[in-house]
Amino acid sequence: MSSRVRLWVFLVGAAGFAALFAAACFDLPAFGTVPHPYGARAMHAALSHHTANVIASVNFDLRAFDTLGEETILFSAVIGTVVLLRQARDEHRKDPEPATIHPPVRRFALLTLPLALLVGLYVIAHGQISPGGGFQGGVVTATALHLLYIAADYRALERVRPLTLYEIGEAAGEAAYVITGFAAVLAGSAFLTNVLPFGTLATLSSGGTAMVLNAAVGLEVTSGIVVLLARFLDQAVEIEEPGEDDGNPRHTGGSGGSGGSGGNGDDER
Amino acid sequence: MTDVLIVVALLLVAGAATAAVLNRDPVRQALVLSFLGLALALLFTFLQAPDVALSQLAVGSAVTPLMILLTVRKVRRRPGSDDGVDKPAGRER
């Protein structure tokens, strides 16, 4: 196909898309209007199941099956990454040497670490009450752990992060979701139906299975992200190419950290 | 009031996204991407979607830029590709 023909094909396609997209946009309800048929129904369903956070109710009750799919996507993505980033036969590990860390950075990281961990766990536990839930809390918890990399060094992070345990945790989180679903079948309902007692609205033990599923997702996401970042960190910090020995063992702590705004610019050469 | 906040957040998002596209250095791009994540988190908060904002904050402004940085580091360290500044190493998730 010559570039001229290609341009025409693109133009025709773009014009068609623009026309359809514009037509669809004109049929949308106005931005931020009050009447919302789906919202009203979701709200009603959430309140009848004593789930104060309507989003959690939609994710873990009304559309629990969707969420199972989403959780499985993350699960398989992490497994895929682990397989892709495993240590190849011609690569070898080199112990990274500790780098000096500026005291203010260390203090800040050590101060933030417990706080961030607590926030993450809080968000997981209160998913059915307040904004957040297993996914959000899981990511916060996982990134919070990596503040130790900023505060101390890679070895310290590896010590608090027994990877096997997190790999098991990831699988257990995924399994717990499916098992909760089948428990509903055993109780005489459909897969993933909310069969547990609903509890009192806006208390920690409310929402029935929404609470359990939140915890399962929290476990899966925390472990999954930790495993994922561990593989990336391994590649960047420890695993060396064959024949590469530039006598320049790139840092351990002090940079390349996580959390916060991910701001570390000292990787530039 | 809310409208003003939404407009400001939208402008921030547009600015950060444009900067991310215009930057050619992957490391800078990752940093700008992290600012884009923050701006998007603000926008979602103003649009009353705190759940989404929380995800965006954690994934968009911490985990994704970090993974890009680590990938760039690994790729650049390879002998003979030190000048790979313009390589589109992991621009998107």
Domain residues of chain A, as ranges? 43-85+100-239
User: In the predicted model, what is the mean pLDDT of chain A?
Assistant: 86
Decide: helix, strand or coil at residue A50. Answer: coil
Any CB–CB contact under 8 A between A269 and chain B? Answer: yes
Please report the pLDDT score of residue A250 as a whole number. 46
- Out of A136, A256, A269, whose CB is closest to B70? A256
Q: Which ipTM did the prediction report?
A: 0.78
Residue range B29-46: average pLDDT?
95
Residue range B17-36: average pLDDT?
94
Work out the pLDDT band at A21, boundaries 50, 70, 90. Answer: very high
- Out of A123, A243, A264, whose CB is closest to B69? A264
| A131·B69 Cβ contact <8 A | no
Which residues, numbered 43 to 62 in chain B, qualify as contacts with chain A under a Cβ-Cβ cut-off of 8 Å?
50-51, 54-55, 58-59, 61-62
A71-126 residue pLDDT tens: 999 999 999 999 998 888 888 888 887 778 889 999 999 999 999 999 999 999 99
On whether the CB atoms of residues B57 and A250 are closer than 8 A, the answer is no
Please report the pLDDT score of residue A82 as a whole number. 92
- In chain B, where are the structural domains located? 1-76
Q: Is the pLDDT of residue A225 over 90?
A: yes
On whether the CB atoms of residues A194 and A214 are closer than 8 A, the answer is no
Any CB–CB contact under 8 A between A229 and chain B? Answer: yes
Residues in chain A within 8 Å Cβ distance of B64: 262
For chain B, what percentages of helix, strand and coil (3-state, to nearest 5) are there?
80, 0, 20
Distance, C-alpha A246 to centroid of its chain: 36
Please report the pLDDT score of residue A172 as a whole number. 96
Beta strands in chain B (DSSP E): none
A181-222 residue pLDDT tens: 999 999 989 999 988 888 888 888 888 899 999 999 999 999
The pTM of the full predicted model, rounded to 2 decimals, is: 0.80
| A263·B59 Cβ contact <8 A | no
Q: Mean pLDDT lowest for which of A31-40, A49-58, B2-11?
A: A31-40
Work out the pLDDT band at A240, boundaries 50, 70, 90. Answer: confident
Work out the pLDDT band at A261, boundaries 50, 70, 90. Answer: very low
Q: What percent of chain A has pLDDT over 90?
A: 58
Q: Is the pLDDT of residue A29 over 90?
A: no
Residues in chain B within 8 Å Cβ distance of A236: 70-71, 73-74
- Nearest in space to A222 (alpha carbons), one of A103, A119, A102, A121: A121
The token pair at B49 is 């979607």
Q: Is the pLDDT of residue B93 over 80?
A: no
Any CB–CB contact under 8 A between B34 and chain A? Answer: yes
The residue type of A68 is: L
The token pair at A48 is 């009848």
A14-23, A158-167, A226-235: range with highest mean pLDDT: A14-23
Please report the pLDDT score of residue B45 as a whole number. 94
Mutate to test the interface with A, among B24, B74, B85 (most CBs of A within 10 A): B74
Phi/psi-derived region of residue A247, left when phi > 0, alpha when psi is between -120 and 50, beta in every other case:
left
Work out the pLDDT band at A28, boundaries 50, 70, 90. Answer: confident
State the Cα–Cα distance between residues A57 and A69, nearest whole angstrom.
16
Any CB–CB contact under 8 A between A201 and chain B? Answer: no
On whether the CB atoms of residues A26 and A103 are closer than 8 A, the answer is no
Any CB–CB contact under 8 A between A247 and chain B? Answer: no
| A136·B77 Cβ contact <8 A | no
Matching residue, tokens 């000096």: A100
State the Cα–Cα distance between residues B86 and A152, nearest whole angstrom.
33
On whether the CB atoms of residues A77 and A84 are closer than 8 A, the answer is no
Please report the pLDDT score of residue B86 as a whole number. 46
Residue range A244-257: average pLDDT?
45
The residue type of A216 is: A
Any CB–CB contact under 8 A between A224 and chain B? Answer: no
